[in-house]
Chains A and B, each alone.
Chain A
Amino acid sequence: MAAVEKDLMTQEIEINMGPQHPSTHGVYRALLTLDGEKVVKVENIIGYLHRGIEKLAEDRTYTQFIPYTDRLDYLAGMLNNLGYVQTVEKLMGVEVPERAEYLRIIMAELSRIASHLIMIASMALDLSGWTAWFPPFRERERILDLFEMTCGSRLTVSYMRIGGVAADIPPAFLPNLEAFLNDLPQMIDEVNGLITGNEIFQARCRGVGKIDLETALAYGITGPNLRACGLPFDLRKARPYGIYDRFEFDIPVLNNGDSYDRFVIRLLEIEQSARIIRQAMAGLPDGPVMAKVPRVIKPPKGEVYHQIEGAKGILGYYLVSDGGNKPYRLHIHSPSFVNLGALPKISEGGNIQDFVVNIASIDIVLGEVDR
């Protein structure tokens, strides 16, 4: 038998893989080197969506740049807004009104839930779970409805302002939010019934794309993907920003560091976000939603690096001001870019069909990879 195998001519082949994941159509491909079904090497080919946003920032005023942040992680626009305006506020020393701080928390956590729901739905879809696509998307629509009634926009919200938020919430907002939160546990049950507990789904995901904690840290993996490797590290607790230190919530953590845990952890995080939102609703004070800030924003000369816990990991803005009305330099550290950089490490040695699972499980968005 061994002699026969020796006579077979084998060679590695390269194939272009993707787009598979819904957020990678046309903007990402992986060049896989295969030995039979085994993935030997992965090369990420990116840059198709590179719009030079950091360069554009140097030619826009501080306020004009806010809409560009939406277009990074367009599945969690509120979080990108928040990170950016807080960076400018930090450099200027702006005090944000209490009501605006609470509204920011509500919007940011809703955005996190919306982003996680997409990940959950699309990971199921990538494994051909068509039915399982619907419950998360149905609930996400309700979040987008809440955004729309507040700021007129669903995805690219541009809701945050330097010094507060663009508008107060309309009267229908809180009752609708309450109803959404009340229905959320039922959706989570539905997802658990359809996906998490599904034997085929488990067989495809458990033990697939494993990465241990030390390697994950060395590769710069953050967010839910890191917490699925056993480390409860969350900037909302480790370096609290805004008013996160006022809320009670847990940091879910799982220990296997595989695709299955990266999926489940997002369901657990949705529950915690809902917990934060309920507390913010209960504590929401009256008052203005904008601080008195100058019409032309001119932060003092200097530099600041501000990081927030985005939906996909640590989102950082490094801002250098020369005292003028435009950023001298704005660098955006996006979690998807670094998490994608670790995808080869996660996937090499696995099977080709596992690559589909792995890319879905790390949850990237290319707007943020390319910037």
Chain B
Amino acid sequence: MNKLIEELKGLFPGVQGEEGIDMPTLVVPADQLLALMEELKQRRGFNFLSDLTAVDFKAEDRIEMVYHLLAVPGGEALRVKVNLSRHEAEVPSLTSLWPAADVQEREAYDLMGVVFKGHPNLKRILCPDDFEGHPLRKDFKLNSGKEGGE
């Protein structure tokens, strides 16, 4: 797996890699995400998008997009991360590679406020359409919603 990380670092200059406690982890700049994912899907066997989510690191003023890939049927797993600014959280959509990203990106948009460029239908999915704010952000206040707010 170390070999894979080294090779990918060679192909994508902005990529950082490390062995995580559960699986190898790559950190990639947002503008190289699509190309890296395409490489991983088409040529490295990571053909399955097994999860997509975001984490708000408010103290560090960043939002981290976290993707988990799986090689089917081999079973190898890989994590890919993208660091984004909390104020302009924007990342390319993966729906062109995996339609599975459609609903998951809408969820990350709805709950964490990450914008996915190129998503065909980026609107709220779990919260009502007129909901204000993104509830999984660390600074979300419970009374900022429409009901019960002051």
Contact = CB atoms under 8 A, between A and B. Distances in A.
A187 interface: no
A19 to B, nearest CB: 18
Given A50-B127, A54-B136, A333-B51, A316 B68 contact: yes
A359 interface: no
A341 B100 contact: yes
Contacts of B140: 55
A47 B127 contact: yes
Nearest to A345: B99
| Chain A interface helix/strand/loop/mixed | mixed
B7 interface: no
A139 interface: no
Given A47-B128, A231-B73, A331 B103 contact: no
Nearest to B102: A341
B92 interface: no
Interface string A288-314: 000000000000001111110000001
Contacts of B56: 329
A219 to B, nearest CB: 5
Interface stretch (B8-16, B19-27, B29-37, B83-91): B19-27
Contact of A46 (B68, B77, B125): B125
B51 A239 contact: no
A307 B22 CA distance: 11
B73 A219 contact: no
Interface string B47-71: 1111101011000000000101010
Given A50-B126, A231-B73, A305-B22, A316 B103 contact: no
A250 to B, nearest CB: 15
A52 interface: yes
A333 B50 contact: yes
Contacts of B49: 220
B75 A47 contact: no
Interface string B113-131: 0000000000011111000
A46 B127 CA distance: 9
B127 A305 contact: no
A334 B35 CA distance: 27
Nearest to B48: A217
Nearest to A239: B75
A333 B69 CA distance: 13
B20 A303 contact: yes
Given A318-B53, A333-B50, A302 B103 contact: no
B72 interface: yes
**Interface SS of chain B: helix, strand, loop or mixed?**
loop
A217 B127 contact: no
Interface residues of B, number: 37
Contacts of B99: 218-220, 341-342, 345
A219 B49 CA distance: 9
B55 A316 contact: no
B130 to A, nearest CB: 12
A22 interface: no
Question: Which of B53, B74, B104 is packed against the most chain A CB atoms within 10 Å?
Answer: B53
Contacts of B68: 305, 316, 318, 333
Contact of B104 (A306, A328, A338): A338
A217 B51 CA distance: 13
Contacts of A275: none
Nearest to A369: B126
A303 B74 CA distance: 23
A242 to B, nearest CB: 15
B47 to A, nearest CB: 6
Contacts of A239: 75, 77
B136 A314 contact: no
Contact of A337 (B20, B66, B70, B103): B103
Closest 9 pairs between A and B when the two form their complex, measured CB to CB? A220-B100, A238-B75, A341-B103, A331-B53, A333-B51, A47-B126, A50-B126, A239-B75, A329-B55
Interface of A: 46-47, 50, 52, 54-55, 90-91, 217-220, 231-233, 235, 238-239, 302-307, 314, 316, 318, 320, 328-329, 331, 333, 337-338, 340-342, 345, 370-371
Given A305-B77, A307-B77, 11 more contacts: A46-B126, A54-B136, A233-B73, A235-B75, A238-B72, A302-B21, A305-B23, A316-B50, A320-B55, A329-B56, A333-B51
6 contacts: A90-B21, A217-B72, A219-B100, A304-B22, A306-B22, A331-B53
